[in-house]
Amino acid sequence: MFPETVLRSRRLVLRAFGNGDIPDTRASCSDPITQRWLPLPRPYTLDDATAWCTTTAHAMRDSGDGIQFAITDAGTKRLMGQVGLKKTDWRALVSEVGYWVSPWARGHGIAAEATRTLAHWLLTDQCFQRMELRAATENTASQAVALKAGFHREGTLRNAGFVHGAQVDLVLFSLLPGDLRPSLRPAGGHTLAAMTEERRRDPAAQRRRDTRLHS
Ligand SMILES: CC(C)(COP(=O)(O)OP(=O)(O)OC[C@H]1O[C@@H](n2cnc3c(N)ncnc32)[C@H](O)[C@@H]1OP(=O)(O)O)[C@@H](O)C(=O)NCCC(=O)NCCS
C-alpha cells in the first residue's frame, strides 16, 4: 500500500480526507458537471459524503488499490477538489489518476497542478513507471487537464467507460518518469533503477527503507 503522506505545491496542499470535508464534498459531488462525468451516487447525499470522507477514501489506501487526497487551498485551507490513484498494479508499477474540482475552484488550473504534484510523487518518490489517465472523449475539460499536466495521448478505448447508464469511449493518456521535467527527476539513474527493482520484488522492504529515510 502507499504510505500516508501530505503533498504540497505552490497553491495547494494535498492531504487525507477528514470529517471537516463532508459538507464541501457533498456540494462538489452533487454538482451537475461532476455528476455528468463520474459514476457517483445520484442523488449524492450527506451519508455518501460522510462515507467517502471517513471510510471509503481511506479503505482504498488500506486495500492497496491506490490513495486519495483532498485538494485544499494552501492559504484558506478550503477544499478545492479530489485527486487520487486507483487500480494500482504493484508488479508493473502502474497506477491510474482520477480527479474532480469543486465548482468554486474550477477554471484556475487546479486539477493540472494537483495531478502534476501527485505524478512527481508517484514517479520519483514511489519509483512507479507509469501513471495513466482516462477521460471520456466528450470530456474536453479533463483532456485539457491531461495535456496541461504533461501527459501523452495514446489513443481511444472504445466502449471502455460507463457513466450513468451510458457506455462511453475513453481517451487514454500516460505519463512516464522520463516525461517529467529534468530538474524534477531524481538524481542517479542507477539508484533509481535499483529502488524500482527492490519495490517490484519486495514492496514491504521498500516501505521500510522509505520510513527510515523520512524519519
Ligand atoms: C475536469 C475538471 C477536473 C477540470 O478542473 P479545473 O481545475 O477547472 O481545470 P482547468 O482550470 O485546468 O480547466 C480545464 C478546462 O476546463 C474548462 N473550464 C475553464 N473554466 C471553467 C469553469 N469555470 N467551469 C468549468 N470548466 C471550465 C476549460 O475548457 C479548461 O481548459 P483551458 O484552460 O484549456 O481553457 C473539472 O471541470 C471537473 O471537476 N469536472 C467534473 C469531474 C471530471 O470530469 N473529472 C474527470 C473525469 S476523467
Q: Check residue 200 and give its pLDDT.
A: 62
Residue 119 has pLDDT above 70, yes or no: yes
Cβ burial, residue 201 (10 Å; 0-12/13-18/19+): exposed
Q: Is the CB of 142 under 6 A from ligand 1?
A: yes
CA distances from 212 to 64, 76, 122, 162, 208 (A): 21, 33, 18, 42, 6
Report strand pairing: 152-163 vs 166-175. Answer: antiparallel
Domain ranges (residues) in the chain: 7-214
| CA 71 to ligand 1 center in whole angstroms | 15
Residue 54 has pLDDT above 50, yes or no: yes
Q: Check residue 181 and give its pLDDT.
A: 73
Q: Is the CB of 118 under 6 A from ligand 1?
A: no
How much is the average pLDDT of 179-198?
55
Residue 130 has pLDDT above 70, yes or no: yes
Residue 21 has pLDDT above 70, yes or no: yes
| CA 101 to ligand 1 center in whole angstroms | 8
Q: Distance of alpha carbon 174 from its chain centroid, rounded?
A: 13
163 pLDDT band, cuts 50/70/90, is confident
Residue 215 has pLDDT above 50, yes or no: no
Q: Is the CB of 111 under 6 A from ligand 1?
A: yes
28 pLDDT band, cuts 50/70/90, is very high
Q: What percent of the chain has pLDDT over 90?
A: 82
Tell me the CATH architecture of domain 7-214. Answer: 3-Layer(aba) Sandwich (3.40)
How much is the average pLDDT of 45-49?
98
How much is the average pLDDT of 140-152?
98
Q: Which of 46, 57, 44 is nearest to 16 (CA)?
A: 57
Q: Is the CB of 114 under 6 A from ligand 1?
A: no
